[in-house]
Structure 1
Amino acid sequence: MAPKRWFTLLRNATTALAAVAAAASFATPAIATAAQPPATDVVGGTRAAQGEFPFMVRLSMGCGGALYTKQIVLTAAHCVSRTGSNTSITATVGVVDLQSSSAQKIRSTYVYRSPTYGTSTGGDWALIKLASPVSGLSTLPIATTTAYNSGTFTVAGWGAATEGGSQQRYLLKATVPFVDDATCAAQGGSYPDLIPSAEICAGNLASGGVDTCQGDSGGPMFRRDNNSAWIQVGIVSWGDGCARPHAPGVYTEVSTFASKIAAAAAGL
């Protein structure tokens, strides 16, 4: 990966200490209260209702993910270090409140990291196999064509609600509009490094204010398909800061890697 892309803000907890600090912050969540300005700037998000997005996954290293199958989580490659056996990750599923006693917590057994991540072809995706299937939760199908790579998308996660802020106890959600490749690449900063065939941009270009942020990495960007069912079109990957004007979020373009994801999952 070129240095410029490496030092842009990847949207996971950057160190183990940051993940520990984020976990500690759940006892006093950084959600807007009457004594704080409302979060108009996930950034710009509102709390998701219990059961609204049953496929959402929180990973113990400080990343998000989505249930690709009942036993496999789709997340970002930059959230994991390598392919191989791994029992160190805990997936929390089935709740919007990470402190809920109803949460299912399941350990990982194996990680598959995209072999093309960090190359000129991109591929910021990874799969985490869980020790047992989750129960009572739906999965999130992924887009296999570019048909849904436009319009307005939904993002959700337990990441920071402000740039540099604490990660959240409660799941936040927001909507972001599609930004075409040429416009995204023209925004300066790290955006000229965009890989159009592997990445998709979304955000409020002129005003900013709504975006994924640190701790949301690996989580899904999704929308309704032609049957009004949720379908995943992106994976939270990187961006210059959070919710800044002219700095959209950049997401792994899932349809580009759909066949590779399916093949890797079949082998787990």
Structure 2
Amino acid sequence: MATPSGAAAAPPAIRPQSQRGIIFPKETFDECFLDGEQKMPGSCKLLQDCPAALKQAMPQTCYFVKFDQYVCCASNSSQPDDDSQVAPTTLKPPVKRKSGKVCEEFNFFVASVVGGRLTKHREFPFMAALGWRSNFDQSIYYRCGGSLIAPNFVLTAAHCIDFGGQRPVIVRLGGDNLTVSTDAVPHDHRIRRIFIHPGYNENTAYNDIALLELEEHVPPSLRPVCLWQDAKLAKKDLIAVGYGQISFAGLSSSQLLKVDLQHISNDQCREYYSREQLPKGLAASQVCAGDLSGKADTCQGDSGGPLVMRLDDSTWYLVGITSLGQGCAIGPPSIYTRVSSYLDWIESIIWPQPEDQTVDPTFDLRISF
């Protein structure tokens, strides 16, 4: 569209709520501001061409060209001393933890870009499936679940990292069905590095948590789940999500499933598990959930998958990671790794502070290809 002669310069990119995610770019395609007061000028560049934006959890978006994200990249004169100075994204009180702040920023971003609505085929856009390559052909078999918690990190259970001496090689995101193509096109991402919690012991279910760093950032349409910040849970129903078995020792479901569960106190949960399974008893870093009526529960194939809670119409919070169970719908509740107990470890890897020491990965899969 040509600018009429003598007309004022085009305003910054518009994000109208009524256009269901369409962002109308500025006519110059290059000028932008990093702050709401328009005191920090920048230019719109491809995300991968802006090193400063790559360090931010959620950089300021100018517009999209298909799946290419253009972000506001600071000029040398306007670059702040650190990357914590970003455009204000919420009117809510500031959250102290980095993971909480990222959650606030990303939820505002999604509300601005896509109207804050999850599509029919992506009720759980953060759901991940971990894939292993067959020993006999190039087929991929999905054996565990996970949760997208940052544009290039997936959280899962540590016991999912090793199946018969093999590590997962692929993470599938955005697919509601693992075998049938739908209009919710899945995204496959290779795993770059694996971080297993240093306190994990494969002989017990304690510290059963691991991080997978992906080779590339996922597209903005895949929305990470927020991390629940408090040791106490809100009085809300919990939901377990996964592609697991729909009956004990049964076939896996290719369709993404969900089940409503209730939080069960650790004291009540202890009676279902022996000292052999939990030598130190049920720890504070674990959370128990299930349906004592036996009508519903997660199954063994849901290992590593999310236990989530929803406080409003749009925000999902990751409460737990499926860790230990005794079957499906037979009464005993399942045990989940309590995410809030591991925020320091998670943040030190995904959003490290300058004073943090570098956390070496347990496996660096870049040498595997």
**Matches of 2:349 and 2:200 in 1, distance apart?**
14
| Whole-Å separation in 2 of the counterparts to 1:235 and 1:154 | 11
Correspondent of 1:265 among 350, 353, 357: 350
Superposed CA RMSD: 2.6
**Partner Cα separation in structure 1 for residue 306 and residue 147 of structure 2:** 6
- Preserved CA contact (<8 Å) 1:68 1:141: yes
Give the Cα separation in 2 of the matches to 1:130 and 1:239. Answer: 28
Tell me which residue corresponds to 1:55: 126
Partner of 2:244: 159
Aligned to 1:71: 152
Read off the aligned partner of 1:181 and give its amino acid letter.
Answer: N
Match in the other structure for 1:218 = 304
Counterparts of 1:256 and 1:220, CA distance in 2: 15
**Partner amino acid for 1:92?**
R
Q: Is the 8 A contact 1:167 1:214 kept in 2?
A: no
1:258 deviation in Å?
1.4
Q: Is the 8 A contact 1:71 1:134 kept in 2?
A: yes
How many Å separate the matches in 2 of 1:227 and 1:257? 26
Gaps of 5+ in 1: 1-47
User: Which of 139, 160, 176 is equivalent to 2:261?
Assistant: 176
Query: Are residues 105 and 81 of structure 1, via their aligned partners in 2, closer, same or farther at CA, if it must alter by over 3 Å?
Result: same
Separation of aligned partners in 1, 2:187 and 2:204:
38
Deviations 1:197-248 (A, max 9, x none): 111101112x212111122111110101368511011000001222212x10
Q: 2:161 aligns with which of 64, 80, 104?
A: 80
SS of the equivalent of 1:60 reads strand
Instruction: Confirm or deny: 8 A CA contact 1:121 1:195 kept in the other structure.
Output: no
1:96 to 168, 173, 176: 176
Q: Which has the higher contact order (CA 8 A, sep 6+)?
A: 1
Where in structure 2 are the equivalents of 1:85-124 lying within 5 Å?
88-99=168-179, 100=181, 102-118=185-201, 122-124=206-208
Measure, in 1, the Cα distance between the counterparts of 2:153 and 2:348: 13
Q: Distance in 1 between matches of 2:236 and 2:270?
A: 18
Cα distance in 2, alignment partners of residues 120 and 198 from structure 1: 13
CA distance in 1, matches of 2:300, 2:120: 22
Match of 1:196 in 2: 283
Percent sequence identity over aligned pairs: 32
- Residue from 226, 238, 241 that aligns with 2:327: 241
Aligned equivalents of 1:189 and 1:240: distance in 2? 11
Look up the match of 2:212: 128
Number of residue pairs matched by the alignment: 216
Structure 2 residue runs without a partner (length 5+): 1-118, 133-142, 352-357, 360-369
C-alpha spacing 1:69/1:214, structure 2 compared with 1 (3 Å): same
Amino acid paired to 1:127: L
Residue of structure 1 equivalent to 2:44: none
Distance in structure 2 (CA, Å) of the matches to 1:94 and 1:75:
16
2:145/2:304 contact within 8 Å kept: yes
Offset of residue 72 of structure 1: 0.5
Code of the aligned partner of 1:223 = M
Residue identity opposite 1:110 in structure 2: R
Secondary structure of the residue aligned to 2:324 is strand
Q: C-alpha displacement at 1:192, in angstroms?
A: 6.2
Give 1 or 2 for the bigger CA radius of gyration: 2
Query: What is the Cα deviation at residue 95 of structure 1?
Result: 1.4
Q: TM-score, normalised by structure 2?
A: 0.54
- 2:315 counterpart residue number: 229
1: CA distance, partners of 2:204 / 2:278: 13
Q: Report what 1:30 is aligned to.
A: none
Shift of 1:188: 4.7
Normalised by the size of structure 1, how large is the TM-score?
0.73
